[in-house]
DNA sequence: GGGTACATGTAATCAGTTACATGATTTA
DNA sequence: TAAATCATGTAACTGATTACATGTACCC
């Protein structure tokens, strides 16, 4: 089985939580990685199933009631996650910004700017708030760094859209 | 039919070229939008076919030889493209940077930095070269603006990776 | 004449998107 | 007690990825 970023997000969140249901994962994504990498919740049902088939997660299902599924890491799962985290090679992300596509094909940037500026400013404010709460907590270096990068990114976009306004 | 960014890239490139085969599109993507939005070439066979079924492209096929397909815009296709370009509302892009995911889940940023820095510096140099050739040409405002954004983006990433080195 | 790179496509699989559903809790 | 929202899933479709294939042209 080929492991995708989605797989590692699931593995990572399960590791952080110890044990998680798809719904926990949904909440986990929304409150953390989801800021820069969202996953539709249907994938959070499908993906753990795949990972369980591959032996990287252990699945348990409630016998009564709603028969909820919950997952935890197997040894193999932990190894796969750690190998990925430890590997210094990564792919490159693409910009894939729809507004840039429009500009490329002739849109007037000044017309796009107001909506883009509002969106970026809102996210920037959100990030600043989260980071204020997070700083000082123990064991949050990773999340704090990604937030810092998120902030720099929003600032960079804001400068761009201001320039073309 | 729902039109995706892929659809608009195809429509836009066909408009720019007047008429194009899938292979022309492949070259077109590689030399332009591909810098921030790549499309596997198999999609450049599938997507025009869909667009032709939807009446947005007109397909012609060589009778002899390799029976190459070529496409041009229909009136409806041109309208759809212009409506999209003229609409000031766009979705938001996500960062989706694999290296950030790794950091989020505990990777050492200093270990990731060298490869990332090399990649970003190479792209930055490439962009600067293209932009130097492009500036001054007529009717290249769109592409030049996207390149400028690409450059700012690379610079912003380079700052980030230098900071954590 | 043989290798290498460009040109041109097809097919199978799979992940992701979208939509549909419904049970349980809280709140007005 | 009705409405809203949270919790929990499934199913259908379709776009994207990957791999396979082969033809043509040019260069050594």
- Quote the pLDDT of residue B71: 94
Nearest to B111 among A88, A97, A148 (CB): A88
* Burial annotation B61-92 (CB, 10 A radius, 16+ → b, else e): eeeeeeeebbbbbbeebeebbeebbeeeebee
Nearest to B104 among A33, A98, A99 (CB): A33
The phi-psi region of residue B19 (left if phi > 0; otherwise alpha if psi is between -120 and 50; otherwise beta) is beta
What are the distances in angstroms from CA A10 to CA A61, A114, A128, B115, B116?
A: 18, 36, 26, 25, 24
Rounded Cα distance between B105 and B99, Å, is 10
Residue whose pair of structure tokens reads 């591959």 in the numeric block: A54
Report the footprint of strand D: residues with C-beta closer than 7 angstroms: A 21-24, 26-27, 41-42, 45, 66-69; B 1-2, 4-6, 39-40, 42-43, 46-47, 50, 65-66
Nearest to B152 among A142, A146, A156 (CB): A156
Which residue minimizes Cα–C1' distance to C10? B42
Subunit contact A160:B142, Cβ cutoff 8 A: no
**DSSP-assigned letter for residue A35:** G
Q: For strands A69-73 and B69-73, give the pairing.
A: unpaired
* A69 close to A21: Cβ distance less than 8 angstroms: yes
Distance, CA of B45 to C1' of D24, in Å: 20
Residues of chain A with pLDDT under 70: 63-66
Rounded Cα distance between B97 and B99, Å, is 5
**DSSP-assigned letter for residue B56:** S
* Burial annotation A12-44 (CB, 10 A radius, 16+ → b, else e): bbbbebeebbbebbbbbbeebbebbbebeeebb
Residues of chain B with pLDDT under 50: none
Q: For strands B69-73 and B57-61, give the pairing.
A: antiparallel
Q: What φ, ψ does residue A108 adopt, rounded to 5°?
A: -80, 115
Bases on strand C under 7 Å from any protein CB: 7-12, 15-19, 23-24
- Quote the pLDDT of residue A123: 94
Which residue minimizes Cα–C1' distance to D16? B43
What pTM, to 2 d.p., does this model score? 0.94
Q: What is the CA radius of gyration of chain A?
A: 19
Distance, CA of B26 to C1' of D20, in Å: 19
Closest Cα in chain A to B35: A94
- Quote the pLDDT of residue B31: 86
- Quote the pLDDT of residue A106: 96
Whether the CB of B70 is less than 7 Å away from nucleic strand C comes out as no
Distance, CA of A46 to C1' of C19, in Å: 16
Residue A107, Cβ density class (10 Å: 0-12 exposed, 13-18 middle, ≥19 buried): buried
């Amino acid at each position: 089985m080929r492991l995708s970023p989605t797989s590692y997000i699931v593995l990572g969140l399960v590791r952080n939580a110890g044990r998680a249901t798809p719904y926990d994962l949904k909440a986990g994504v929304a409150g953390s990685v989801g800021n820069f990498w969202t996953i539709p919740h249907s994938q959070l049902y499908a993906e753990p199933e795949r990972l369980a088939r591959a032996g990287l997660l252990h699945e348990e299902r409630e016998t009564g009631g709603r028969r909820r599924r919950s997952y935890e890491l197997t040894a193999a799962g932990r190894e796969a996650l750690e190998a990925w985290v430890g590997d210094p090679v990564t792919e490159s992300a693409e910009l894939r910004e729809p507004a840039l596509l429009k500009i490329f094909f002739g849109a007037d940037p000044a017309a796009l700017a107001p909506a883009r500026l509002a969106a970026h400013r809102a996210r920037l404010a959100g990030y600043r708030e989260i980071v204020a709460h997070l700083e000082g907590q123990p064991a949050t270096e990773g999340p704090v760094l990604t937030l810092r990068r998120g902030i720099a990114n929003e600032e960079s976009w804001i400068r761009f859209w201001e320039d073309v306004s």
